[in-house]
Amino acid sequence: MEDFEKVWSMMLAGEVYDATHPGLTGRLVEVRERIHQFNNLPPADLEAQRAILRELLGSCGERFHVNQPFRCDYGCNIHIGENFFANFNLTILDEAEVRIGDNVFIGPNVSIYTACHPLDAESRNSGVEWAEPVTIGNSVWIGGGVTIVPGVTIGNRVVIGAGSVVTRDVPDDCVVAGNPARPLRKNYGAYKGEVVAKVD
């Protein structure tokens, strides 16, 4: 069996790795213990909540707030900027890095995924997977119930409508919504090559 450090490096590098490795599953349990503590703190005990998140996250700004409950896989692969706010039930599967900029507001029941599984059933059943990072720029508003899939980059000053599934990159200054998310209106440029008429 490959050692933990090698499997961890493979995971972060986007290579196919054994997600059932005992080192990974053991770390997942450790993180879930800390997340359980976070989610069961009194809602008014904000300092204790932030202390746990500062310990878990890869990096964070001075000012941030995450409503309980919150869930993640490893935590250390999540980086949030200044003035970050997340409403109830944020889930981040951070097998790859998730980088979130400053002044990002996230509605309730948002999910951000980096883990990928094979389409072939036999391969999928073996426990192998890979991960693709997610990047979210500055001053982004993500509506409630949004899902962001692996490998997506979201630009600055983007608004994502409630219930959307974001399956491809979103450039700066876009308003997108739907499943899959597409431009709603925009004076802001093109969305993956699609030019959208200005709406006054």
Q: What is the residue-wise DSSP string for the chain?
A: ---HHHHHHHHHTT--EETT-HHHHHHHHHHHHHHHHHHTS-TT-HHHHHHHHHHHSSB--SSEEEPSPEEES-STTEEE-SSEEE-TTEEEE-SS-EEE-SS-EE-TT-EEE-EE--SSHHHHHTTEEEE--EEE-SS-EE-TT-EE-TT-EE-TT-EE-TT-EE-S-B-TT-EEETTTTEEEE-SS-EETTEE-----
* pTM, two decimal places: 0.90
> Which of 21, 36, 65, 117 is the catalytic position?
117
Residues of the chain with pLDDT under 50: 187-193, 195-200
Q: Residue 192: inside a domain, yes or no?
A: no
158 in any annotated domain: yes
Asked whether residue 193 is domain-assigned, the answer is: no
For the chain, what is the domain count? Answer: 1
In a domain, 42, yes or no: yes
Domain-embedded: residue 191: no
Domain span including residue 90:
4-186
Domain-located, residue 76: yes
pLDDT of residue 187: 45
Q: Give me the CATH number covering residue 151.
A: 2.160.10.10
Instruction: Please say if 79 is a catalytic residue.
Output: no
